[in-house]
Structure 1
């Protein structure tokens, strides 16, 4: 672990303010916050700024939750991010995505055309930091402008988180 969670005796008002963006008061402590948040709060100003975007993507995004979770899982797989995979596997299950659908994400496979399109978008952005005209046009036929923008920012944000979690050595609470 290169960047460990912030020790409990260093949690202060600045840390509390940074986590206020995402967590209710009862969870803004080292015992209740996730390993990821407990690590990120080592830099409270960055955490607060980042969580503002992340809260939008997780809770206010126009992108349907199913598509969001499929995109995040594909990013987690491509980035070999155990933390992101484990946490969003649980979120995907809560959204009704089946175990077999989750495992198919690893292979870049989906039985639904829209799901497959989302996985293709993740792969293309990962490979080229851009989408082909064919993929963009297909997304235009399925998602409105806000949904497409939320998708691109979701993919980019979770690529950034995967890089941070992998580099810092954030351990998943769901390690198997």
Structure 2
């Protein structure tokens, strides 16, 4: 077994049946389909990033895994808008693992070096698409204030619609939760 700074990284041969169900959902689920833009497992087969912690309480971990999969693959936000929101969370929470993983995904969906730099510098008006600017600004406000005031909410509903506002709120909450777990457990990005 290898360890991160605060929790033991579990290897596949050490898992009980409930933990194995979580492991299989992450390592063999939608995240594992298509191009591998970031590592899901290390060289010994242990789950990378937030996913190892999901094994600590498998029922909760399985539910978190399902929410994360739904946020990434079952929403109507564009791929770029989704990755912009995730990267805003990673910058705001100074979460190196989220940046590592979603910079790669962001590049895959068309974010440029300039886009990534704009996110690091909170220059959300740098995005040409109004939807992307509103997603970035709304995400930033949610993290700063924990709310959208009437003006920001009105703009978000006008540009995104109520359904996508709900999707964005859920996405921000999920990735903020992961950032908290990654920070407290001191989980670094893998050395690739």
Pair 1:125–1:35, CA change in 2 (3 A): closer
CA-CA distance at 1:36 after TM superposition: 2.8
Pair 1:35–1:119, CA change in 2 (3 A): closer
TM-score normalised by length of structure 2: 0.81
Question: Among 165, 172, 176, which residue is 2:189 paired with?
Answer: 172
Question: Among 143, 146, 153, which residue is 2:163 paired with?
Answer: 146
- Aligned 1:111-150 pairs, distance under 5 A: 111-112=127-128, 113-150=130-167
Q: Can you give the 5+ residue segments of structure 2 that lack an aligned partner in the other structure?
A: 33-39
- Aligned 1:86-125 pairs, distance under 5 A: 86-109=100-123, 110-112=126-128, 113-125=130-142
Runs of 4+ in structure 1 over 2 Å off: 19-23, 27-30, 32-36, 110-116
Q: Can you give the 5+ residue segments of structure 1 that lack an aligned partner in the other structure?
A: none
CA-CA distance at 1:32 after TM superposition: 6.5
- For residues 108 and 169 of structure 1, the distance between their equivalents in structure 2, rounded to whole angstroms, comes to 25
Question: Among 2, 7, 10, which residue is 1:3 paired with?
Answer: 7
- For residues 82 and 92 of structure 1, the distance between their equivalents in structure 2, rounded to whole angstroms, comes to 15
Instruction: Quote the residue 1:16 is aligned against.
Output: 20
Pair 1:114–1:174, CA change in 2 (3 A): farther
CA-CA distance at 1:174 after TM superposition: 5.1
Aligned pair count reads 174
- Aligned 1:21-100 pairs, distance under 5 A: 21-24=25-28, 31=45, 33-100=47-114
Structure with the higher fraction of residues in helix conformation: 1
**Per-residue displacement from partner, 1:68-104 (whole Å, max 9, x unpaired)?**
1001101100100000111010010011111110111
- For residues 162 and 39 of structure 1, the distance between their equivalents in structure 2, rounded to whole angstroms, comes to 12
Alpha-carbon RMSD: 2.1
